[in-house]
Amino acid sequence: MKKLDETLQMLKDLTDAKGIPGNEREPREVMKKYITEYADEVTTDGLGSLVAKKVGLAEGPKIMVAGHLDEVGFMITQIDERGFLRFQTVGGWWSQVMLAQRVTIVTSKGDVTGVIGSKPPHILTPEARKKPVDIKDMFIDIGASSREEALEFGVKPGDQVVPYFEFTVMNNEKMLLAKAWDNRIGCAIAIDVLKQLKGTNHPNVVYGVGTVQEEIGLRGAKTASAYIQPDIGFAVDVGIAGDTPGVTEKEAQSKMGKGPQVILYDASMVSHKGLRDFVTNVADEMEIPYQFDAIAGGGTDAGAIHVTYNGVPALAITIATRYIHSHAAMLHRDDYENAVKLIVETIKRLDSETVNNIRFQ
């Protein structure tokens, strides 16, 4: 394998980390390792979200840049007498991407490998074969011969189950394949924003945040926002790439490599017009490519940030990503780097007067 540069190593460490909602300790420790050097203070809120504070002007506005630490996965709910594991999805899953996929059960005795199984199609009726398998009819096989053996392996109800996939740089080295881009790429953007602001003057206080439990209701963003009380909020996350076969521009218009997505509307919020216009004006001024998108289903942490405290102008800036909420997703490195550049250039211009003007747009 080709040696990874510093950025790719960080991305690998973040995506390799295992952390479904409520189990974010491992990715939080990775994010803390990388962001501490660029922060004046690193703390956590009571729910476990990481908050890295960097002071430019102490009395300036507070700017929150939030990616979420958690990834979609599963939780063990039962072990049957033959050693097969029943599970609950944690976060949104489409049943067709799950069968025969390798998973890792994180136990108190160490990691245990499993595979998601179901009845083989060979014994189903012709009618049943035409239908997707219901998630409730799936199980995880860890090669145990009994409940007792599964327990000896260390498996118990409540253990988190994480998709297994190795971080991969594709032949086109701009294309990066990994599990958990949703949303370790947002955590990476928050790290790099603080990194690029180190040693520069900025008229505000910046908070690089790794929130918890986004995939089950934007929960960490609520508590982290209450903790910080930001004046401006950015959620950095993944979005939908519309450049694969069968997808029309009407369904999803963004293309990988054409710049970060500025989200106009999603199920969690209408983006703040003043902030959105300010960000796109900065992008135009600096000739940073960007794309607009609207997502009728789903939301981001911006949806929780903007209704916290007494109301916060907020915007989601996302990376067009293929195959999210599956074992392996793909994104373009240029989009990631341009998202960092856009947020950094925006933050440099967010002084108190500008923030006050944005509020009333």
Catalytic residues: 214
Give bridge partners of residue 231 from the DSSP assignment.
Answer: none
Contacts 24+ apart (CB under 8 A), 333-337: 333/173, 333/174, 333/175, 333/176, 334/174, 334/257, 334/259, 335/256, 335/257, 335/258, 335/259, 335/260, 336/185, 336/188, 336/189
How far apart are alpha carbons 122 and 331 in whole angstroms? 37
Q: Which residues contact 297 (CB under 8 A, 6 or more apart)?
A: 266, 267
Omega cis (within 30) before 171:
no
Q: What does the DSSP 8-state code read for residue 60?
A: S
Residue 36: CB atoms within 10 A of its CB come to: 14
How far apart are alpha carbons 232 and 214 in whole angstroms? 19
Buried b / exposed e over 92-124, threshold 16 CB at 10 Å, is ebeeeebeebebbbbbeeeebebebbbeeeeee
Buried b / exposed e over 183-205, threshold 16 CB at 10 Å, is bbbbbbbbbbbbbbbeeeebbbb
CA distance between the termini of the chain: 51
At what angle are helices 181-197 and 25-35 packed, to 10 degrees?
20
- Hey, what are 115's tokens? 């595979």
Q: What does the DSSP 8-state code read for residue 265?
A: E
- Hey, what are 73's tokens? 């996965």
How far apart are alpha carbons 10 and 168 in whole angstroms? 13
